Amino acid sequence: MRYFPTTLDRAQSDAVAERLQRHFDTHGYGPWALEIPGVTPFAGFVGLMRVGYDVPFAPAVEIGWRLARPFWGAGYATEAARSVTQFAFGALGLPGLVSFTVPANARSRAVMTRIGMQHCVGEDFMHPLVPPGHRLRRHVLYRLAASATGPSE
């Protein structure tokens, strides 16, 4: 959580889980639990979220990921993200995806690059949910167009 403004206590974490469940109920997709067969039933999440706040690139669907530390460094986030893009552009028929993080989050940016996303420098933005003046306010914006990927399986 180093690149997020705060960590979450149990009540806040439960509230996030409920909000994400409502996202699935409303849209039929969301941040899926990442199961690694034979390793763990829950390594974290990789999935899709509607951008629900006021930013210049909204409306948009974000692809995002968050894995528990023991599961970093094995390619799991990238493998799952590739599956998610195929689902987004195939079954869901979305025209494109965005992803964003703070400039210093090199691991997250590396996943974006590995799945073919492009950094749109002119669209970098100040995150509206991070207080003005906060060191984590500036975000880099990446995009992936459905037309930039091959046919889905």
Ligand X SMILES: CC(C)(COP(=O)(O)OP(=O)(O)OC[C@H]1O[C@@H](n2cnc3c(N)ncnc32)[C@H](O)[C@@H]1OP(=O)(O)O)[C@@H](O)C(=O)NCCC(=O)NCCS
Q: Residues 60, 69: contact at Cβ < 8 Å?
A: no
Does 85 sit near ligand X (CB under 6 A)? Answer: no
Strand partners, 97: 144
Identified binder of ligand X from the candidate list 36, 57, 66, 119, rule CB under 6 A: 66
Q: How far is the CB of 153 from ligand X (least distance, A)?
A: 18
Does 52 sit near ligand X (CB under 6 A)? Answer: no
Does 136 sit near ligand X (CB under 6 A)? Answer: no
Q: Which is nearer to ligand X, 77 or 144 (CB)?
A: 77
Distance between CA 152 and CA 22 in Å, rounded? 27
Distance between CA 26 and CA 82 in Å, rounded? 23
Does 40 sit near ligand X (CB under 6 A)? Answer: no
Does 74 sit near ligand X (CB under 6 A)? Answer: yes
Q: How far is the CB of 69 from ligand X (least distance, A)?
A: 8
Query: Could you count the other beta carbons within 10 Å of the beta carbon of residue 34?
Result: 22
Distance between CA 147 and CA 24 in Å, rounded? 26
Does 78 sit near ligand X (CB under 6 A)? Answer: yes
- Chain mean position to CA 123: 17
Which residue ranges make up the site for ligand X (CB under 6 A)? 3, 64-67, 72-78, 101, 105, 107-108, 111
